[in-house]
Amino acid sequence: MRIIRTRQELHQSIKSLETGSIGFVPTMGYLHEGHLALIQKAKSENDFVVMSIFVNPLQFGPNEDLTAYPRDEKRDLKLAEEQGVDILFLPNVSEIYPVPLSTTIHVEKRVDVLDGEKRPGHFDGVATVLLKLFHLVMPNRAYFGQKDAQQLAIVEALVEDYFLPIAIQRVETVREADGLAKSSRNINLTVDERKEAPIIHQALLAGKKCILDGVEDETTILAEVQKTLGKVTKKVDYLALYEYPSFKAVTDFSRTLILAIAVQYEKARLIDNELIKRGEENA
């Protein structure tokens, strides 16, 4: 595995690769099984795998603590090498943003709800850094987890809008044995919060069952989710049902839907979702 920290080194390394496809896995590090699933999927579909680890300051809001984001470079290096990553790109902030930006990327659609509404500017930062990384790596395919479904929809739109020659590959959410979605932020849960957190996914599954059983009343579906959530309800940042990937109000229950939730604990904000398509076990 080549460990690279500068754009110039990355350019040279990408150029030196033998003819073959490149799978790209962009991350913010503190790797867990969800990231490893992305690597495994990339390895199965490409000749080479490039992973980036970069905690992007542009996607953190004024009330969000960038310095508190979990980091463990030594462990990340070990995991990436064990999984067979060919190139690991570890730039610092000045390498990605050497000068103040003279142009900006602003995401117009799919951001007026959920995290886009709760974290204004967040997805502008995501789109900006990904556009930079896509140009640096020039991958054939890039891999994103379904857990960040709104981000996934925005990245798919970014690639389509700018005719980027990249196939965006969706990878299903990786979960703990009790159903909690794997996340770098789970480490910040208290013991009691960790015991409670699996209820989040149980509640989403209750709502999903309603939809698959033929219920077409949004109020009824969300009430079923709230019923399962129980005492977690007072910590819910949002709970909503939309068509996917447009994030528009549901007008046709035969389309792919997203049932999404965010729960704010003391030091960790957890998001999760279910993509639902009638007639398909997994949308």
148 annotated as a binding-site residue: yes
Residues 271, 196: Cα–Cα separation, whole Å: 14
179 annotated as a binding-site residue: no
Instruction: Quote the tokens at residue 92.
Output: 């610092």
145 annotated as a binding-site residue: yes
Q: CA dist 236 to 15, 23, 26, 148, Å?
A: 47, 36, 28, 17
Look up residue 149 and give its amino acid: A
178 annotated as a binding-site residue: no
E strands present in 5-66: 22-27, 48-53
Q: Are 110 and 244 in contact (CB under 8 A)?
A: no
Residues 208, 217: Cα–Cα separation, whole Å: 13
75 annotated as a binding-site residue: no
Of 35, 106, 122, 201, which one is the catalytic site residue?
35
208 annotated as a binding-site residue: no
35 assigned to active site:
yes
30 annotated as a binding-site residue: yes
151 annotated as a binding-site residue: yes
59 annotated as a binding-site residue: yes
Largest Cα–Cα distance in the chain? 57
**73 Cβ partners below 8 Å, 6+ apart?**
29, 53, 90
94 annotated as a binding-site residue: no
Pick out the residues of the known binding site for beta-alanine: 59
Residues recognised as catalytic: 35
Pick out the residues of the known binding site for (R)-pantoate: 59, 151
Pick out the residues of the known binding site for ATP: 28-35, 145-148, 174, 182-185
